[in-house]
Amino acid sequence: MNDRKEPPVEPGKPGPHGKPEAADRELTPRKFYKAEDEAAFSEASPNDTVQTRHPAYRLAFQDTDFLLREDLRPVRFQLELLKAETMLEEAGVGSTLVIYGSARIPAPDKVDEMLAEADGDKRGRKVVENLVAKAKYYDEARRLAYMASSCAVIEDGQRQFVVTSGGGPAIMEAANRGATEAGAESIGLNIVLPHEQAPNEFVTPRLSFQFHYFALRKMHFLLRARAVAVFPGGFGTFDEFFELLTLVQTGKMKPIPIFLFGKDFWTKVVDFDALADEGVISRDDLKLFRIVETAEEAWERIVGFYKLSCPVTVPIPEKMAVGSEA
């Protein structure tokens, strides 16, 4: 008679010597171990041989060197698409208000510091003054984000008009900041760059993503976008704005409210009428977007476009008054 007792087994874990346990006999949906379990089994293995130490023996999904190979680019594309998509779906994000804009425009309370740093450099001072003159747009981006986030539209159990930015400083920071001040979550879609770059402090941590591929990042900007606000910016802002226009112009994307903030800036840097006069775009293409000056004007048009039950005018806290310091 064998009185040896077998060690206790956790429910759902394999029994000793592979013997089936009670849980194994149930008609459960899963009969294979999860990838995380298999990874744990592999790491816990006592075998240490020339073969097990070789990279070829690593589980493919744990082999970073393998995943970073040139010919694995299609897989990395899929991962960048799937990771953010899955996490946004799990977070209940139904649609977004996307805010594009420069990473160089200062917040109003940083203006004096920026001007002081430019003293002694006449040419540089002029550039800084031009940027400082645009500090008002930091406030407008912040206010627009606050309005959209305060409305808290819920449809089919998902949150609508969740504020989304590139996750960086300046206009992007203003967008995430306004959402935070309204007590709402917001999204940041950062990109890996050669120089130092990190998410601004107002991005919701669980909705803060980092991308390797610009193409996948831009796709996530627009997959859920139901309105886009474009503030003064440089090459990156132009790239995002004109790609959006191209998608709508060609019918690949249905029309949504698109706003350019700042008539003085946009009519100076882009002659849209000249494009129509030259015949390279249709005069009707100029109706794809609208130039506005204030957050109130943009929000009113978003509310009207989608016939939202939200108020057109959202009370703004005194601390968020244009030009005020937080």
Question: What single DSSP character describes residue 15?
Answer: P
Give residue 310's pLDDT band: very low, low, confident or very high (50, 70, 90).
confident
Three-state DSSP class for residue 28: coil
Q: Residue 47 has what pLDDT?
A: 86
For the chain, the residue count is 326
The identity of residue 221, as a single letter, is: F
The identity of residue 101, as a single letter, is: G
Q: Kindly state the average pLDDT of the residues 24-31.
A: 72
Lowest pLDDT segment from 13-22, 65-74, 189-198 = 13-22
CA distances from 14 to 25, 47, 274 (A): 12, 19, 72
Lowest pLDDT segment from 75-84, 120-129, 162-171 = 120-129
Q: Residue 245 has what pLDDT?
A: 98
Q: Residue 313 has what pLDDT?
A: 77
What phi and psi, each to the nearest 5 degrees, are found at residue 301? Answer: -75, -35
CA distances from 21 to 12, 14, 15, 34 (A): 8, 7, 6, 18
- Tell me the pTM: 0.86
Mean pLDDT of the chain: 89
For residue range 48-91, list pLDDT tens digits in order: 899 888 999 999 999 999 999 999 999 999 999 999 999 999 99
The identity of residue 267, as a single letter, is: T
Angle between helices 214-223 and 73-90 (to 10 degrees): 30
The rounded distance, in Å, linking the Cα atoms of 269 and 175 is 23
Number of H-type helices and E-type strands within the chain: 13, 9
Q: Residue 109 has what pLDDT?
A: 87
Top pLDDT among 4 and 111 is at 111
CB burial string 79-103: b at 16+ within 10 A, e below: ebbeebeeebeeeebbbbbbbbbbb
Q: Which residues does 139 contact at the CB level (< 8 Å), separation at least 6?
A: 108, 174, 320, 322, 323, 324
- Provide the token pair at 144: 């627009």
Beta strand 158-159 pairing with 154-155: antiparallel
The rounded distance, in Å, linking the Cα atoms of 225 and 90 is 17
DSSP of 89-139: HHTTB--EEEEE--SSPPPGGGHHHHHHHTTT-HHHHHHHHHHHTTHHHHH
Q: Residue 5 has what pLDDT?
A: 47
End-to-end CA distance of the chain: 80
Give residue 323's pLDDT band: very low, low, confident or very high (50, 70, 90).
low
- Check if the beta carbon of residue 188 is closer than 8 Å to that of residue 208: yes
Give residue 6's pLDDT band: very low, low, confident or very high (50, 70, 90).
very low
Q: Which of 312, 214, 232 is nearest to 269 (CA)?
A: 232
- Check if the beta carbon of residue 261 is closer than 8 Å to that of residue 171: no
Give residue 312's pLDDT band: very low, low, confident or very high (50, 70, 90).
confident
156: left (phi over 0), alpha (psi -120 to 50) or beta: left
Question: What single DSSP character describes residue 200?
Answer: -
Which residues share a beta bridge with 159? 93, 154
